[in-house]
Homo-oligomer: A and B are copies of this chain.
Amino acid sequence: MKSDMTRLRLLSHGLRALSTDGLSGVTLGRLAEAASLSKSGLFAHFRSKQQLEIALLYEAARSAHGHVVEPAMDAPAGLPQLQALVERWLGWPMRAGLPGGCPIAAALFELDDREGEVREHVAALEREWRLLLGSLVASAVALGHLRKGTDLDQFVWELCGIYLSHHVSARFLRDPSAEEHARLAFGALLRRSGATSPA
């Protein structure tokens, strides 16, 4: 359908806006203008601002999956896959063609004190993401790449901290050594977990 094409265009422009302006920064008027559509025409696609926000967040997750998860799955299972995923994870928005930062990371701070449907969807995405990370760590443990008895939740928790710290130092502080800091931190986390072959 023609409508699907338009919807894709809207999601594309909306995702770009989301990455720079955050959820509350994406407005129907601006998005309509960016996508060369009337505001009411845009509004007809999503039946409310909330629905648009949710759609954009899922589009962000879809893009992350395509740019981060899928290519990382080419690596051998276990530690190499985990390392490949982390490498693709850090700074993925830029490689996905987004002009701003990670929309989901930003949403974690924008919605932390807001209730409602949007928050629940972000929470679901974040929980799913951490489950994926945990399963990759578990595989590395099962394959003997990481020490048996490794605290999976703790590993994932600290890995998320590395991602967030990288986001802040790279995007806000514009520290050119953000990548290096993240690499060192991840390496230390691996070593602590008994990685046999450090990258």
Contacts and interface: CB of A to CB of B under 8 A. Distances in A.
Interface of A: 19-22, 24-25, 99-101, 105-106, 108-113, 122-123, 126-127, 151, 153-154, 157-158, 160-162, 164-169, 171-173, 177, 181, 184-185, 188, 192
Q: How many copies, total? A: 2
A112 B101 contact: yes
Given A165-B161, A168-B164, A113 B99 contact: yes
A177 B99 CA distance: 35
Given A106-B109, A158-B188, 14 more contacts: A20-B113, A21-B113, A22-B109, A101-B109, A106-B110, A106-B112, A109-B110, A112-B171, A113-B171, A157-B185, A160-B165, A160-B168, A161-B185, A192-B192
A161 B101 CA distance: 17
A100 to B, nearest CB: 4
A120 B168 CA distance: 14
Contacts of A164: 161, 164-165, 168
- Of A20, A154, A177, which is in contact with the most chain B CB atoms at under 10 Å from its CB? A154
